[in-house]
């Protein structure tokens, strides 16, 4: 376990982590689990040679036990990739769409979808991946500003937040920036180490410019 400002980070299986907490312990879970699209790995760092398989790969979505446990320990949830795992979720009025603002000939996904437990209208976040967002340590890395937008919109002061798939650490950086307590875990040792170093660098910059 490593604590960096408001983020407590674990290198472990998310099911084992969630078992440690009572019902409704977290006010909000924002998670980005595997989409089950067979994307087995990607870069870890900025060198094209730094290829790393995911721990457990991305061959399938989490099973029903994962979603049951997630909803047991958290009062509300935001789940990325919901269009791939809708069989485990109930109908909602509040889908979130991340519009990546890409040109028509963009060959990869131009948007991503998140299911939420909130009974509010659907929302769209528009941000193109440019500049610092291109400095990637994980193939499914999302922008820090996307997580800040979600937290500002769906969390309240004092809320405790859960992330079961830390990945690149963008979520932890956002929580530290905004002063929210986060508990997160990452199964893969190499990605965990890389995200910890990234979160530490961002925390140091915050102190330098405070």
Give the total number of structural domains in the chain: 1
- Average pLDDT for 191-206: 90
Stretch 126-134: mean pLDDT, rounded?
66
Non-local (6+) Cβ contacts of 26 within 8 A are 73, 74, 75, 160, 161, 162, 183
Lowest mean pLDDT among 4-8, 31-35, 66-70, 175-179: 31-35
**Is the pLDDT higher at 132 or at 118?**
118
> What's the rounded Cα separation, in Å, for the pair 133 and 191?
17
Residue 43 pLDDT > 90 = no
- d(C-alpha 55, C-alpha 40), whole Å: 9
- Top pLDDT among 110 and 7 is at 7
Place of tokens 């979160």: 199
pLDDT of 139 above 80: no
pLDDT top residue among 154 and 207: 154
**At 206, is the pLDDT very low, low, confident or very high (cuts 50, 70, 90)?**
low
User: Using one digit for the tens of pLDDT, what is the confidence trace for 7-18?
Assistant: 999 999 999 999
pLDDT in tens, 57-101: 566 889 999 999 999 999 999 999 988 999 999 999 999 999 988
Task: Please compute the mean of the pLDDT values over residues 107-125 and round it to a whole number.
Answer: 93
What is the CATH classification number for the domain harbouring 123? 3.40.50.150
56 or 99, which is more confident? 99
Domain region containing 65 = 2-209
181 has which bridge partners? 160
Tell me what the pLDDT averaged over the chain comes to. Answer: 87
Q: Which residues of 188-210 are buried (b: 16+ CB within 10 A; e: fewer)?
A: beebbebbbebbeebbeeeeeee
The pLDDT value given to residue 47: 53
Confidence bin at 38 (pLDDT 50/70/90): low
In this prediction, residues 169-184 reach a mean pLDDT of 97
């Amino acid at each position: 376990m490593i604590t960096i400002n408001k983020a407590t980070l674990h290198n472990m299986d998310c099911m084992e982590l969630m078992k440690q907490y009572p019902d409704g312990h977290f006010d909000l879970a924002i998670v980005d689990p595997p989409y089950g699209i067979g994307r087995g790995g990607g870069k870890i760092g900025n060198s094209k040679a730094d290829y790393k398989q995911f721990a457990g790969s991305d061959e399938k979505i989490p099973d029903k036990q994962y979603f049951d446990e997630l909803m047991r320990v958290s009062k509300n949830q935001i789940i990325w990739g919901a269009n791939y795992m809708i069989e485990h979720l109930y109908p909602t009025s509040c889908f979130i769409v991340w519009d990546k603002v890409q040109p028509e000939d963009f060959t990869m996904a131009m948007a991503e979808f998140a299911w939420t437990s909130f009974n509010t209208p659907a929302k769209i976040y528009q941000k193109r991946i440019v500049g610092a967002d291109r400095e990637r340590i994980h193939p499914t890395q999302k922008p820090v500003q996307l997580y800040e937008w979600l937290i500002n919109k769906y969390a309240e002061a004092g809320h405790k937040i859960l992330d079961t798939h830390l990945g690149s650490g963008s979520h932890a950086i956002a929580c530290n920036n905004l002063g929210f307590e986060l508990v997160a875990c990452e199964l893969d040792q190499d990605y965990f180490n890389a995200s910890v170093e990234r979160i530490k660098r961002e925390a140091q910059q915050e102190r330098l410019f405070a």
